[in-house]
Structure 1
Amino acid sequence: MKVTFRTLFLLIVIFQFLSCNKSKTETAIKSSVSKDSIKESKLAVNNPVKEDFSFPVDSTLPVKIIQLETFHNDEIEENYDKKTWFGLFKNKNDYSLSETKVFFKRVNDPVIDDNEEDKTGWEVSASVKDTCVILIEKLPYFIDGNILSVKIPENIYPEESFKFNFKGIEYTLFATGKKKKESPDSDWIIVSDYKLYLRTVVDGKETKELLVAKKNFDDQMIRMIFGGDLDDDNKLDLIIDTASHYNASSPTLYLSKPAEKGKAIKPVGVFTTVGC
Structure 2
Amino acid sequence: MHTLLKTSALLGLLAMASCKQKSQEQQTTTDSTLAQVKVDSTNMFPKETDYQITVQMPGTFHEGQVPLDSDKKSWVGIFQTEKGFELKTTGISLEMVHDEMIDEKPDAKTGIQINIAQKDTCLLLIESQSYLKDHVIAPLTLAKTEFYPNDAIEFEYLGVKYKLFAVGKKEISKDDPNQILVTDYTLSISFTKEGKNYTNVLLRQPRFDSKIATVQFAGDIDGDGILDLVLDAATYYNDINSTLYLSKITKGTQGVTIAGGFTAGVD
TM-score calculated relative to the size of structure 2: 0.81
Which range moves more in the overlay, 51-60 or 261-270?
Answer: 51-60
Report how many residues are paired: 236
Residue type of the alignment partner of 1:108 = H
Work out which of the two has the higher radius of gyration on C-alpha atoms and give 1 or 2: 1
Closer, same or farther: CA 180–114 of 1 in aligned 2, 3 Å: same
- Of residues 67, 72, 77, the one that matches 2:67 is 77
Distance 2:80 2:203 in 1: 25
Which residue matches 1:38?
32
- Of residues 28, 39, 44, the one that matches 1:49 is 39
- Indicate whether 1:211 and 2:202 are aligned: yes
Cα deviation 1:71-91 (Å, max 9, x = unaligned): 112111121111111110125
Which residue matches 1:269?
260
Tell me which of the two structures has the higher relative contact order, counting C-alpha pairs closer than 8 angstroms and 6 or more residues apart: 2
Distance 1:130 1:194 in 2: 36
**Which stretches in structure 2 are left out of the alignment for 5+ residues?**
1-29
Distance 1:235 1:151 in 2: 15
- Indicate whether 1:173 and 2:164 are aligned: yes
Which residue matches 2:151?
160
**For 2:33, what is the secondary structure of its paired residue?**
helix
Which residue matches 2:95?
105
Distance 2:96 2:207 in 1: 35
- The structure whose residues are more often helix, as a share, is 1
Alignment of 1:119-134 (within 5 A): 119-134=109-124
Distance 2:210 2:117 in 1: 35
Distance 1:243 1:221 in 2: 7
Contact 2:238 2:266 in 1 (8 A): yes
- Indicate whether 1:60 and 2:50 are aligned: yes
TM-score calculated relative to the size of structure 1: 0.79
Distance 2:242 2:130 in 1: 21
Q: Percent identity?
A: 31
Residue type of the alignment partner of 2:189 = L
- Indicate whether 1:249 and 2:240 are aligned: yes
**For 1:271, what is the secondary structure of its paired residue?**
strand
Q: CA-atom RMSD, angstroms? A: 2.2
Which range moves more in the overlay, 230-239 or 162-171?
Answer: 162-171
- Indicate whether 1:220 and 2:211 are aligned: yes
**Which stretches in structure 1 are left out of the alignment for 5+ residues?**
1-35
Cα deviation 1:109-163 (Å, max 9, x = unaligned): 2333332222221011212222211111111112223112212221121111111
